Structure 1
Amino acid sequence: MKNFLISFLGALAGIWFSLFLAVIGIFIVIAAAMASSGGNTTVNVSNNSVLCVDLSGTIYDRAPKIDIREAIRGGGLEKNAQVLADITGAVTAAASDDRIEGIVMNCSGVSAGIAQLTAIIEALKDFKKNAPEKWIYAYADAYTQGDYYVASVADSVFINPVGMVEISGLSLSSLYYKRLLDKLGVDMQVVKVGTYKSAVEPYLLDKMSDPAREQAQLFLKNIWNDICTTIADARGVTVADVNKWADDFVFTKDASTYKDLKIVDGLLYRHEFDRKIADLTGCDKIKDIKTITTAQYAKVADTGKVGSGKGANIAVLYATGEITDNSGNGIVASELVPEILELAEDNDIDGLIMYVNSPGGSAFASEQIWEALEQYKKLTGNPFYVSMADYAASGGYYISCGADRIFAQPVTLTGSIGIFGMIPDFSGLVNDKIGIGVSTVTTNANSNFPTILEPMTEAQKTSMQAYVNRGYELFTSRCAEGRGMSQDSIKAIGEGRVWDGTEALKLGLVDELGGLDTALAAMARQLNVESYTVHSYPVAKDKWYDLLLEAGIEDIKAAIMRQELGEMCSLYDAIRQVKGMSVLQCRMEFTKVNL
């Protein structure tokens, strides 16, 4: 016994000592990080500078939450990751900065939503309008379709003599799991409202339904037409010409034909293009060209201020990602609702714009966010606008519908006013495939509901359908109230149908076409000010040690789990997502339009 006690106490002391060292180590690392970040590198903008718009890597609406594991290692966002507001803000500010001679767009495979790219295009067009004496040049060894969409508005577009331009049109593809689920013995039990509510179709069908195909064909056609019009206007050709480029596999053609087709203005090797920029900026040598990135310039140009910035304070609240109740990396109601109510108590804020980029999610969470925004309007009397990005559909539209004015890009996917519930039945897999029997004892008819081990009874299906119907009635009533329309009118354009921004404007689901800058300008007019300052919320924590201090055990455990799973991480995330879903969902199907 004596030896056991000595061994036990020794082990316990070892554990405590290890924990003590770990805690001390963390504090040392945090202190070192704080010290190293204390002196920010000063960015100087020289005369005859060139603003570089880098169209490569991922563009985010806001800087995403830094991964804890990568943060501890000293890492952060992936290489070339950028924030949309830095790009658009820098381009806008550069127009009135005499130190900036022009803009160079370096194109090498941008990863961004179509609405994000459209916002950059709008900023570039404003730059040309407000600073006609300045220039915009674009260069690439090979233009992806997304790259070229933005680059087309440049004054001159250049390409490597052996490069290529990808123009092929739009497409979307969906995976359907019905036959797989049948083989596994899994039945997805679905209750829904909305003929076009196709988010559940992958689990019920083995191919796209006619209504889903109908809506996809319409919004794809409208979005592509808007893209073609932008390119055609910029390049001095017709929409028919752009469609011919797409139909003729232009990316397979020799680059020497691009100039004749007016796709580009010239063929240059990179050093020849750099020499041209050197000449434009009065530099004898290429290495003397003074360049500044949009991220660097956004910091020194104070892009949050318009004019003197003293006229009004406008809050921009970012609501991006899937809508959940209490956890997740997207729109978390338990976090966003207090943020909205705190903004309502801030007397310095004169107006609120919510930037929405969401396919929806939890119906309950959407209602809580909608109600908090109603409280904001009631308590402050301030104007409340919504600016829609790539998606503001289903729950994303739910939280938007109460705004005084809604702004959407022509390429925005919105609407999808519908609701569904989905409960998987694994009894076929468990009983028939694996051979496990299940026995249940209950006190009441529905004591074990919901369960994945037994199918729903007819009574349960009827009750669940009534539950979903009630949710749809609430959803459509919120939309009707917010849009000043009858509930029947909302239902007529609802049914879970997804609309592009152009159609949504015709139907009265949005008020005006344009991005966040358009919404800000409109709010400034309503506030009767020419100068204003933009304040972004939630306030971003860009220091990794702040994130480490607020990180919980679950965050760290999930990060470690993802690292161990490697390629299987996506399956782990999907299981966690389904597990955390609330019963009722206001969610559009996963729709990635391939640009």
Structure 2
Amino acid sequence: MKDFFKQVAATFVGLLIFSIISSIFIFIGLIGMSLSGSQSNTIKNNSVLVLNLSGSMNERVEDDFQAKITGQMTGQIGLDNLISGIRKAKNNDNIKGIYMEFGAFTADSYASMQAARNALEDFKKSGKWIVAYGDIYTQSNYYLASVADKIYLNPQGQIDWRGISAQRLFLKDLLAKFGVKMQVAKVGAYKSATEQFTGDKMSEADREQTTAYIGSIWKNILKEVSKARNLSTGKLNEYADSLITFAAAEDYLKMKLIDGTLYTDQIKNEIKKRLELKDSEDINQVSLADMADEPDDEAYSGDDQIAIYYAYGDIVDGAAGGFFSRKQNIDAQTVCKDLEKLKDDEKVKAVVFRINSGGGSAYASEQIWHYIVELRKAKPVVVSMGGMAASGGYYVSAPANWIIAEPTTITGSIGIFGMFPDVSGLLKEKLGVKFDEVGTNANSGFGTLSRPFNAEEIAYLERYIDRGYKLFRHRVAEGRGMTDQQVEKIAQGHVFSGEDALKIKLVDQLGGLDAAVKKAASLAKTKSIYTKSYPEPVNWLDQLLGEVRNESYLDDKLRAEFGTYYEAFSILKTINKQSAIQARLPYMLKIN
């Protein structure tokens, strides 16, 4: 017994010591963060803003306290921070130019790249220069780099320029090997999300719409690169058809895609020449982090607030993980509460709802739709669409006073579906599980794992789905000032680019977040404004006490190995936890 108490006491003391040591490390980390945050970031004269473009760019990157403490930073760039930093650099007389160095850099969409490129275009209006350098330019990176005054490439580098393709992954035959089939009820000839699990190739309707919207995106890319590099769109298409990805660097120079070839150490001399520095002098470099605390001369400053509410990721009903979850979601329960607070906040005169989502739960989308309707009764609501605002993403956008999209935004997809796995083949044929059943009523066994739905049950589901589709269609008609019949002509799950959506009145204007803020101020009839972003950052204490990450180390490794293909498989492990009725784009949309 004495040994038992000794062991208990030892365990208690060990835990106490561990807690004390952990607290000390956290305290030291907090002091370091505090000191670094309090240091002056005054920009020296003759500086250059250095954009090290590697990792991934998302709508908004949360300030991760845990990552700062442990030193395990995510390698993510927030589009909002990037645009803000570029705008501040434009108006700072001490910054003479921007140097962009491209690494393995990706963005969630071409629309995000387009927004960043537009900010760089605006920077050049100040008369300042931009220089780009890369060892290898991916196609989307070259699109962004093309805005530069000069583009340099490593002598052994490459430019990936081959046009855009959209790939679908089909899992029907894979599931069949395990005795699993997907039972589907859907509305919309173009609603192709379910085809991934029920077909083995793209339907003609999906092929038609996909060809149209990737064609629209490519046309925008060609137009802007053509203007920047003084090359015809025909010549750029010729290069793409020739697969110049494998050309020699000197050939890119002849094609006028670059302005020179340099090794990494040689690019410094090019920057020094522009800054009129001697070889012995150092370059004053400024990072995006340095720009964070600098004043923004173009920032709105006034008495009336325009709230910018960021909503990006899958639309779900209930959080799918805590703050440290790697997968960002639009949790309807949280969003609705936030929107209600904005409605009741007298300081807020208008709301810009920044949406980047391919949809998700139809039920959750309806809840957010309701709260935006209520918000609009109190103050103007302007939607700013990012890379995607489709299906459920469009559902929640429809009631806004005004909708603004990037030309390369993917939107529309007005349609819903229900998808239910039939695992009876796996259980009975593969695993040898036997079932028997008794029931009190005709449909008391509905949803059982022992058999697929019968014809009568499928008919009930289809009527339910059809009712949900008609509600979605009517919501759009109400919001856009159309009849249900007019919406039907552009619905059926049809996906459009932002540019094409403007032609059919699904959006009101092409542009970015700044255009949305200006429109919101105009609708609110106020000029003395300031902007504030929501949801507000989670403070360090709430992060520390919050829920742990809900994904495993294995998830991270598989995602790193399979890239975007991983998302298609990961949906299988959570399919029973999702809302039965979905308003979303295809589960996996890979655009190269």
Q: What TM-score, normalized by structure 2, do the two folds share?
A: 0.91
- Does the 8 Å contact 1:226/1:410 carry over to 2? yes
Listed as ranges, the gaps of 5+ residues in structure 1 are none
- Does the 8 Å contact 1:172/1:591 carry over to 2? no
Q: Which residue of 2 aligns with 1:323?
A: 315
Question: Take 2:89 and 2:354, find their aligned partners in 1: how far apart are those partners?
Answer: 24
- Does the 8 Å contact 1:138/1:156 carry over to 2? yes
What SS does structure 2 have at the residue aligned with 1:475? helix
**1:563 Cα deviation from its structure 2 partner:** 2.4
Q: Tell me which amino acid in the other structure corresponds to 2:29.
A: A
Q: Tell me which amino acid in the other structure corresponds to 1:347.
A: E
**1:175 Cα deviation from its structure 2 partner:** 1.2
- Does the 8 Å contact 2:316/2:329 carry over to 1? yes
Q: Tell me which amino acid in the other structure corresponds to 1:33.
A: G
- Does the 8 Å contact 2:88/2:294 carry over to 1? no
- Does the 8 Å contact 1:417/1:496 carry over to 2? yes
What SS does structure 1 have at the residue aligned with 2:254? coil
- Does the 8 Å contact 1:53/1:104 carry over to 2? yes
Q: CA RMSD in A?
A: 2.4
What SS does structure 1 have at the residue aligned with 2:193? helix
- Does the 8 Å contact 1:185/1:427 carry over to 2? yes
Q: Give the alignment of 1:192-271 within 5 angstroms.
A: 192-271=186-265
Per-residue CA deviations over 1:435-472 (Å, capped at 9, x if unaligned) read 11022343333334323332112222111111111111
**1:531 Cα deviation from its structure 2 partner:** 5.5
Q: Which residue of 2 aligns with 1:359?
A: 358
- Does the 8 Å contact 2:407/2:510 carry over to 1? yes
What SS does structure 1 have at the residue aligned with 2:385? strand
Q: Give the alignment of 1:515-554 within 5 angstroms.
A: 515-528=512-525, 532-541=529-538, 543=540, 545-551=541-547
Q: Tell me which amino acid in the other structure corresponds to 2:362.
A: A
Using a 3 Å threshold, how does the CA distance of structure 1 residues 463 and 138 change in structure 2: closer, same or farther?
same
Using a 3 Å threshold, how does the CA distance of structure 1 residues 189 and 21 change in structure 2: closer, same or farther?
farther
Question: Is 1:118 aligned to residue 114 of structure 2?
Answer: yes
Q: Tell me which amino acid in the other structure corresponds to 1:123.
A: A
Q: Which residue of 2 aligns with 1:399?
A: 396
What SS does structure 2 have at the residue aligned with 1:189? strand
Question: Is 1:98 aligned to residue 90 of structure 2?
Answer: no
Indicate which of 567, 583, 586 corresponds to 1:586. 583
Using a 3 Å threshold, how does the CA distance of structure 1 residues 353 and 310 change in structure 2: closer, same or farther?
same
- Does the 8 Å contact 1:170/1:593 carry over to 2? no
What SS does structure 1 have at the residue aligned with 2:356? strand
Question: Is 1:453 aligned to residue 445 of structure 2?
Answer: no
- Does the 8 Å contact 2:87/2:296 carry over to 1? no
Using a 3 Å threshold, how does the CA distance of structure 1 residues 337 and 65 change in structure 2: closer, same or farther?
farther
| Mean Cα deviation higher: 150-159 or 263-272 | 263-272
**1:542 Cα deviation from its structure 2 partner:** 6.5
Q: Tell me which amino acid in the other structure corresponds to 1:255.
A: A
Q: Tell me which amino acid in the other structure corresponds to 1:547.
A: Q
Q: Which residue of 2 aligns with 1:513?
A: 510
Per-residue CA deviations over 1:15-53 (Å, capped at 9, x if unaligned) read 666665565555444434333322224322111111122
| Mean Cα deviation higher: 431-440 or 192-201 | 431-440
- Does the 8 Å contact 1:356/1:392 carry over to 2? yes
Q: Which residue of 2 aligns with 1:167?
A: 161
Q: Tell me which amino acid in the other structure corresponds to 2:347.
A: D
- Does the 8 Å contact 2:172/2:199 carry over to 1? yes
Question: Take 2:424 and 2:516, find their aligned partners in 1: how far apart are those partners?
Answer: 51
Q: Which residue of 1 aligns with 2:81?
A: 86
Q: Which residue of 1 aligns with 2:60?
A: 62
Q: Give the alignment of 1:332-411 within 5 angstroms.
A: 332-378=331-377, 380=378, 382-411=379-408
Indicate which of 45, 64, 67 corresponds to 1:47. 45
What SS does structure 2 have at the residue aligned with 1:259? helix
Q: Which residue of 2 aligns with 1:431?
A: 428
Indicate which of 287, 297, 306 corresponds to 2:299. 306
Q: Tell me which amino acid in the other structure corresponds to 2:368.
A: I
What SS does structure 1 have at the residue aligned with 2:227? helix
- Does the 8 Å contact 1:385/1:406 carry over to 2? yes
Q: Tell me which amino acid in the other structure corresponds to 1:337.
A: C
**1:277 Cα deviation from its structure 2 partner:** 1.2
Question: Take 1:95 and 1:511, find their aligned partners in 2: how far apart are those partners?
Answer: 29
**1:163 Cα deviation from its structure 2 partner:** 2.2
What SS does structure 2 have at the residue aligned with 1:452? coil
Question: Take 1:313 and 1:492, find their aligned partners in 2: how far apart are those partners?
Answer: 39
Question: Take 2:57 and 2:556, find their aligned partners in 1: how far apart are those partners?
Answer: 24
* Aligned length in residues: 575
Question: Take 1:363 and 1:12, find their aligned partners in 2: how far apart are those partners?
Answer: 52
| Mean Cα deviation higher: 85-94 or 418-427 | 85-94
Question: Take 2:556 and 2:583, find their aligned partners in 1: how far apart are those partners?
Answer: 31
**1:283 Cα deviation from its structure 2 partner:** 1.9
Question: Take 1:511 and 1:77, find their aligned partners in 2: how far apart are those partners?
Answer: 39
Indicate which of 127, 135, 156 corresponds to 1:141. 135
- Does the 8 Å contact 1:418/1:495 carry over to 2? yes
Question: Take 2:280 and 2:231, find their aligned partners in 1: how far apart are those partners?
Answer: 34
Using a 3 Å threshold, how does the CA distance of structure 1 residues 176 and 495 change in structure 2: closer, same or farther?
same
Q: Which residue of 2 aligns with 1:563?
A: 553
Question: Take 1:317 and 1:425, find their aligned partners in 2: how far apart are those partners?
Answer: 39
- Does the 8 Å contact 1:402/1:482 carry over to 2? yes
Q: Tell me which amino acid in the other structure corresponds to 2:44.
A: S
Q: How much identity, in percent, do the aligned residues show?
A: 36
Question: Take 2:500 and 2:358, find their aligned partners in 1: how far apart are those partners?
Answer: 18
What SS does structure 2 have at the residue aligned with 1:459? helix
**1:490 Cα deviation from its structure 2 partner:** 1.0
Question: Take 2:571 and 2:582, find their aligned partners in 1: how far apart are those partners?
Answer: 16
- Does the 8 Å contact 1:274/1:286 carry over to 2? no
**1:226 Cα deviation from its structure 2 partner:** 0.7
Question: Take 2:88 and 2:475, find their aligned partners in 1: how far apart are those partners?
Answer: 39
Using a 3 Å threshold, how does the CA distance of structure 1 residues 548 and 438 change in structure 2: closer, same or farther?
farther
Per-residue CA deviations over 1:247-283 (Å, capped at 9, x if unaligned) read 1122222222223322112223333321121122132
**1:78 Cα deviation from its structure 2 partner:** 2.1
Question: Take 2:201 and 2:449, find their aligned partners in 1: how far apart are those partners?
Answer: 25
Indicate which of 276, 279, 286 corresponds to 1:285. 279
Question: Take 1:368 and 1:56, find their aligned partners in 2: how far apart are those partners?
Answer: 37
Question: Take 2:575 and 2:12, find their aligned partners in 1: how far apart are those partners?
Answer: 38
| Mean Cα deviation higher: 87-96 or 466-475 | 87-96
What SS does structure 1 have at the residue aligned with 2:487? helix
Question: Take 2:78 and 2:254, find their aligned partners in 1: how far apart are those partners?
Answer: 36
- Does the 8 Å contact 1:393/1:413 carry over to 2? yes
Q: What TM-score, normalized by structure 1, do the two folds share?
A: 0.91
- Does the 8 Å contact 1:87/1:295 carry over to 2? no
| Mean Cα deviation higher: 520-529 or 197-206 | 520-529
Q: Which residue of 1 aligns with 2:498?
A: 501
Using a 3 Å threshold, how does the CA distance of structure 1 residues 181 and 576 change in structure 2: closer, same or farther?
closer
**1:65 Cα deviation from its structure 2 partner:** 7.5
Q: Tell me which amino acid in the other structure corresponds to 2:375.
A: Y
Question: Take 2:280 and 2:311, find their aligned partners in 1: how far apart are those partners?
Answer: 43
Q: Tell me which amino acid in the other structure corresponds to 1:185.
A: G
**1:9 Cα deviation from its structure 2 partner:** 6.2
What SS does structure 2 have at the residue aligned with 1:455? coil
| Mean Cα deviation higher: 56-65 or 393-402 | 56-65
- Does the 8 Å contact 2:158/2:246 carry over to 1? yes
What SS does structure 1 have at the residue aligned with 2:210? helix
What SS does structure 2 have at the residue aligned with 1:423? strand
Question: Take 2:211 and 2:152, find their aligned partners in 1: how far apart are those partners?
Answer: 33
Question: Take 1:54 and 1:498, find their aligned partners in 2: how far apart are those partners?
Answer: 34
Question: Take 1:357 and 1:295, find their aligned partners in 2: how far apart are those partners?
Answer: 24
